[in-house]
Chains A and B, each alone.
Chain A
Amino acid sequence: MKIKKKTISAAIIYLVLSVIFVIVIFPVLYTILGSFKGNMELLTEGNSLFPKRFVLENYVQAWNMGNFAKYTWNSIFMSGTIVLGTIFTSTIAGYCFERGKFPFKNFLFLMVVSSMFVNLGSLTLYPQFAIAKVFGINKSLWGVIIIRVFGLNVTNLFITRSYIRSISVEIDESAKVDGCSFFSIYVRIILPLLKPLIATIAILEFRHSWNDYLMPMVFTLSNPDRMPLIVGIMNLKGSGVAASSWNLMLAGSAIALVPMIVVYLIFNRYFIEGLTAGAVKG
């Protein structure tokens, strides 16, 4: 009797989960399958999830005419540089704040932490842009890259700092006895020990920079050749031809989605861990 009750409740749970699963996965399937529909089919009958006829034409068109080859390269370039740069700046910042001894350390750290409480979100975008203009980096993705890499991401700082705290200080000290300086301890001891953390940071940054819309949009507004994928796709929507370019928007979205999904499916553990750790501590 008890076993029967258990199977029934398991069946109900599976049923609920499956229904929600279908609803959740629907928009993704819609985008990816829709990107294989011909434009005529998209614009005349929308009621079927699966294309009547698979066509690759949208991708060819997006790639050749829609500038998407450039957008894709820009996205790869921007997120790649940000990921690499952030790995170094975040781990260095975490290392300095955790192990370094220097004047005003607590004050500087307090400055960083207190910035979290000024909650302006995208409202500081304009001043950031204006400042970038002063440095002459406001017309390309370099502005975005520099702001993201050197802007000291508080979340990353927190997770690196607490990770480094868990590494025994004795390792540092014995290296110091062997003649290592503060910097060479970072390069030879700490950085190699941070590998799992680096994976988390890399994935967090990749997700963030690949998906980012507002900041790259602002920086490439006057320079469409530098637009990353997301901005390029939205640009298509904003332009007058929106109604006739569903196929390009869907193909573009699929190009933007698929790399992310593939990376996620391979490294989902790091994604879930990183996003939650980051949010909890940040």
Chain B
Amino acid sequence: MKKRIGKYRRSTDSTQALIMLAPMFIGFVIFTYVPIIYILRYAFYQSNGFSEEWIGIRNFVRLFTRDTMYWTSVANTFILAFGKLLLEIPLALLLAVLLNRGLKATGFFRVTLFLPAIISTAITGLIFSLMFAAYNGIINDMLMNAGLISRAINWFGNKWTALFVLGLASVWNNFGINMIFFLMALQSVPMELYECAEIDGITPLKKFFYITLPMIGPTFQAVLLMAIVGSLKVADLILASTNGQPAGGTEVVMTYVFKYFFGYDGRNIEVGYASAMAVITGIILAIVSFIYMKSTNKLGHSTE
């Protein structure tokens, strides 16, 4: 009799758990899995959102043979991502090392330097596009006042200066979180290691490269992966500042595909073709992560 009650109780518990979980799980399937299936299906269709027609692999043929703009946007994405990480990661690491020295105002700097990380990426794009505006932008005016340049620079008129400003904006927005990761990793390095090394008379630079860096290897690997993938997925920043100008010079892959999906920025809606691009973009991202994981295995196996 008693056993029966227990069994009955257990089955109601599991029913309750299923009922409680159901709304979220259904939502998850609808808004995470169904979109992926949707994209996989529409990649083989021609569709403007209303009518659709099966066209086999023609979307992919177009993508690989005729659409040079897509590949330019992929190239731009990589240039922007790796260019800005060259500044962002060393900066974050430097700040983490400085904040780890246990000086008095560390708390203050930690909180204020992290501040940009809580600010909307879109607003970041807007602020930087106003600051670097060609006419009356505060940066141009300050540089001219300081006598560093004689004429206002049209930052967004040239692909490379535009990418440079976007890179700066992105570094500003993202270095804080990496800084905190590095700081957390540094704080977990045992002090004894440094003390032993000091007895052996090690230079600070060697200390950094032979002790600190290997000790934070796994964190470094994970942080870099997240930073790379995050940078390759950049979209808001571009839409909010240059919107791909000048002449597609700052168009990144996410914004390029986005515009085809929604017919944004004067384009026709081409859901089928956009889906095909999304599939290829997803594959490119997966390949990048895979290559990264393979080639950095030495840094540490843990990606936790």
Interface of A is mostly: helix
Are the C-beta atoms of B119 and A211 separated by less than 8 Å?
Answer: yes
Q: Complex: how many Å from CA A13 to CA B254?
A: 39
Question: What does DSSP make chain B's interface, helix, strand, loop or mixed?
Answer: helix
Interface string of A254-268 (1 = CB under 8 A from B): 001100110011001
> CA separation between A122 and B274, bound complex, in Å?
12
Residues of B within 8 A of A264 (CB): 115, 118
Chain B residues within 8 Å of A240, by CB: none
Instruction: Please determine whether A211 and B14 come into contact, CB atoms closer than 8 angstroms.
Output: no
In the complex with contacts A21-B109, A120-B36, A103-B123 CB distance below 8 A = no
B91-136 contacts to A, CB under 8 A, are: 91, 94-95, 98-99, 101, 103, 105, 109-124, 126-128, 130-131, 133, 136
Supposing A24-B116, A131-B34, A275-B117 touch, asked if A213 and B122 sit within 8 A by C-beta, the answer is yes
B-chain residues with CB within 8 Å of residue A44 when the two chains form the complex? 136
Q: Hey, which chain A residues are within 8 Å of B145, CB to CB?
A: 47
Q: Are B130 and A250 in contact (CB under 8 A)?
A: yes
Other-chain contact of A186, B20, B95, B105, B261 (Cβ < 8 Å): B20
Residues of B within 8 A of A207 (CB): 118
| A197 on interface, CB distance cutoff 8 Å | no
Please determine whether A230 and B271 come into contact, CB atoms closer than 8 angstroms. Answer: no
**A145 CB to nearest chain B CB (Å):** 11
In the docked arrangement, what's the CA distance between A130 and B144, Å? Answer: 50
Residues 13-41 of A at the B interface (beta carbon under 8 Å) = 13-14, 16-17, 20-21, 24-25, 27-28, 30-31, 34
Cα–Cα distance between A146 and B135 once the two chains are bound (Å): 43
Please determine whether B120 and A126 come into contact, CB atoms closer than 8 angstroms. no
Known: A47-B141, A272-B180. A214 touches B239 (CB 8 A): yes
Q: Which 6 A-B pairs have the closest CB atoms?
A: A150-B27, A100-B17, A47-B141, A211-B120, A127-B35, A152-B28
User: Would you mind naming 8 contact pairs between A and B with Cβ atoms under 8 Å apart?
Assistant: A17-B98, A20-B113, A30-B130, A30-B131, A42-B136, A152-B24, A272-B110, A279-B181
